[in-house]
Amino acid sequence: MAEALTLSLLIGISVGVSAGYLGSLMVLKKMALVGDALSHVALPGLALGILFNFNPFFGAFAFLFASAVIIWHLGRVTKLPFETIVGAMFTVALAVGILLIPEPDLLEALFGDITKVTILETVVAVVISVMAVLLTKMIYRKLVLGMISEELAISKGIDVSRTNLLYLLLVSLVVAVGIKIVGTLLVGFLVIVPAAAAKNVSADLSKYAVLSASFGTVSTCSGILFSSYLNLPTGPLVVFSGIIVFLATVLVKWKAE
Amino acid sequence: MCTGTMENNDDYVLNVSNLSVKLQNQTILDNVSFKLKRGTALAVLGPNGAGKTILFRALLNLVPYTGKIEWAEKVKIGYVPQNIAVDDIPISVKEFLSYKNRVNVESSLSPVRLSNKNVADKTLGILSGGQLRRVLIAWALTDNPNVLLFDEPTTGVDHDTEEPIFATLSELKEKNKITILLITHDVHIVREYSDYLLALDGGVKFFGESKEIMNPSIQRIIYGETVCAGAPDENR
């Protein structure tokens, strides 16, 4: 029991930090809903894992990775906004996933179940999260400069398109790990809400990124602990914890104004 | 598309010949040619859609083009775009200027007459139009460029702030021997702060010394009518 809780908390910290940190860029890029929708693309991958008896999360990784590349490529070729492409893809993926996933496993795929986490999954989650945060840190300023002005970034020698692709791939990885805790339906929360909360109380970029990662961790860890003590599903409690943090920052912002 | 460097011509920093840009099957720039002397200021003038910004994008190699753009050797370009999206991004002036981690914020702000104390910790989104343009100039100068491309320096700036910005640019040009290319709609700015004028409307309508803008016959070439009183019309 204690070991399971420790593993859950380790994953919780990893996902909270990485989703919060990467999500801070998603919110700035006004792509918050892209992060949410992207998570649904994992469903057919999860389904294949369940049907063919391999770890469903590897299926989710593969589908998210492939989707990120397709979204990036279509965005470049068609010049359509990311939201449009992701919107079309995620609804199809959701439909396919729900049709393919056997009913008893559907609930876990949609809402996650961190109580069944293994040591290997924990190690994978920690390694992926650390890698995602470190790589994102390396391209953070480039991405922000690209958001401020793509021309400005290109004139400084930044390959905006490739940087965006790397970022999308890293988001896919973090989303795939996050699915274990809160499931495909709620993982978008971890990408959006901690960052939105951090934005309410930040005047500079470094503070914003650190707070976003911290709020993500507070949300996942409190959700996991409450879930353990109250014996309730983890996903919704992570969401409730995060929303309390978000409301607190709204209050702070309102008072400051 | 041919971007190259000029050989054995110390006087000139830029040589553009027969530059044409087509985007989505529409000709935006047609056969544009001009040369620019080192350490001078060129004002690029023209109505909306005349291809001014596209000219800058071509000079920065950001759009495909035909013709030839030759920069002098060892040229370093600083670029200040017309529009940037900062309203929703919590980035401080200090962070923006420290983009490459090796910038002294105070010394970056002083050439553009901004005080470190007043603006360094402010978020870009809450700066006034004039302050933001100055921060952008400071940012463009962080790499010690010898050429500065400035797209509509007075966008979002009130009238009282325009003059100090151009005075700053003029000062930079004199002190640091920077070559400046700026897009503007303002005849007064052309006359006061630039040495040469390139009037565009798809192609080149006029290229010559800026003081010519006060000549009514030149104004008629550029605008199709006389827009302000100035020097006597020598061609009349």
Beta bridge partners of B37: B12
pLDDT at B28 over 80: yes
Give the separation between CA B90 and CA A28, rounded to whole angstroms.
9
Q: Which of A32-46, B114-128, B212-226 has the highest mean pLDDT?
A: B114-128
Residues pairing with B26 in the sheet: B23
pLDDT at B1: 56
Give the pLDDT confidence score for residue B234 in this predicted structure: 40
Segment 104-123 of chain A within 8 Å of chain B by CB? none
A151–B79 C-beta distance less than 8 A: yes
Q: Hunting for tokens 């989104």 — which residue is that?
A: B125
Beta bridge partners of B27: B22
Residue B232 pLDDT grade (very low, low, confident, very high; cuts 50, 70, 90): very low
Average pLDDT over residues A107-123: 78
Task: Enumerate the residues of chain A whose CB falls inside 8 A of the CB of residue B124.
Answer: 148
What amino acid occupies position B21? Answer: V
**pLDDT at B108 (0 to 100):** 79
Residue B231: what pLDDT? 46
Amino acid A113 reads D
d(CA A56, CA A62): 10
Sequence-distant (6+) residues with CB within 8 A of B101 are none
pLDDT band at B236 (very low <50, low <70, confident <90, very high): very low
| Percent helix, percent strand, percent coil in chain B, to nearest 5 | 35, 30, 40
What burial letters (b/e) apply to B49-65, b meaning 16+ CB within 10 Å? ebbbbbbbbbbbeebeb
In this complex, how many residue pairs, one in chain A and one in chain B, have their CB atoms less than 8 Å apart? Answer: 56
A199 touches chain B (CB under 8 A): yes
Tokens of A123: 């190690």
B85 closest CB neighbour out of A147, A202, A204: A147
- CB-based burial, A151-179: b 16+ in 10 Å, e otherwise: bbbbbbebebeebbbbbbbbbbbbbbbbb
Is residue A192 within 8 A of residue A23, CB to CB? The reply is yes
Residue B196 near residue B209 (C-beta atoms within 8 A): yes
Cβ–Cβ under 8 Å, residues B32 and B180? no
Number of domains observed in the structure of chain A: 1
pLDDT of the residue at B8: 55
Mean pLDDT of B184-188: 81
Q: Which residue has the tokens 């840190």?
A: A137
Ramachandran assignment for B67, one of left (phi > 0), alpha (psi -120 to 50 degrees), beta (any other) = left
Q: Which residues of B touch A (CB under 8 A)?
A: 57, 60, 62, 77, 79, 81, 83-86, 88-92, 94-96, 99, 121, 123-124
Choice between B211 and B16, residue whose per-residue pLDDT is larger: B16
In this predicted model, what pLDDT tens digit does every residue of A148-164 receive, in sequence order? 888 888 877 888 888 98
Q: Which residues of B touch A155 (CB under 8 A)?
A: 60, 62, 77, 79
Nearest to A204 among B62, B81, B95 (CB): B95
One-letter amino acid of A38: L
ipTM of the complex, rounded to two decimals: 0.75
Distance from CA of B99 to the nearest CA of A (A): 7
- Chain A residues near residue B144 by CB distance under 8 angstroms: none
B235 pLDDT tier (thresholds 50, 70, 90): very low
In a domain, A257, yes or no: no
**Burial, B150: exposed, middle or buried (Cβ in 10 Å; 0-12, 13-18, 19+)?**
buried
- Within 8 A of A30 by CB-CB distance, chain B residues are 88
Nearest Cα neighbor of B115 from B88, B135, B133 is B135
Which helix (H) or strand (E) is A15 found in, with range? Answer: helix A2-28
Is A208 touching B (CB cutoff 8 A)? yes
Residue A196 within any structural domain of the chain = yes
In this structure, are residues B68 and B18 in contact, taking their beta carbons and an 8 Å threshold? yes
CATH number of the domain bearing residue A224 = 1.10.3470.10
Range of the domain at A133: 2-252
Q: Say whether A205 and B90 touch across the interface (CB within 8 A).
A: yes
Q: Is residue A44 part of a domain?
A: yes
What is the model's pLDDT at position A168?
Answer: 86
Residue B34's pLDDT is what?
93
Q: Parallel, antiparallel, or unpaired for β B12-23 and B26-37?
A: antiparallel
**Burial (0-12, 13-18, 19+ Cβ within 10 Å), B159:** exposed
Q: What sign for the dihedral angle of Cα A167, A168, A174, A178? A: positive
Q: Say which amino acid occupies A29.
A: K
Mean pLDDT of chain B: 82
What does the DSSP assignment read for B77-126? EEEE-S----TT---BHHHHHTTTS---HHHHHGGGT--HHHHTTSBGGG
The residue of chain A nearest to residue B120, with distances taken between CA atoms, is A204
pLDDT tens per residue across span A195-231: 999 999 998 899 999 999 999 999 999 999 999 899 8
Determine the pLDDT at residue A225. Answer: 93
Which of B61, B76, B89, B155 is best to mutate for the A interface (most A CBs within 10 A)? B89
- For residue A34, which of A70, A109, A73, A87 has the smallest C-alpha distance? A87
> Quick check: A5 pLDDT over 50?
yes
Buried-state track A9-36, b at ≥16 Cβ within 10 A, e below 16: bbbbbbbbbbbbbbbbbbbbbebbbbbb
Question: Rounded to 5 degrees, what angle do the CA atoms A207, A212, A214 make?
Answer: 95
| Residues of B with Cβ-Cβ distance to A208 under 8 angstroms | 90
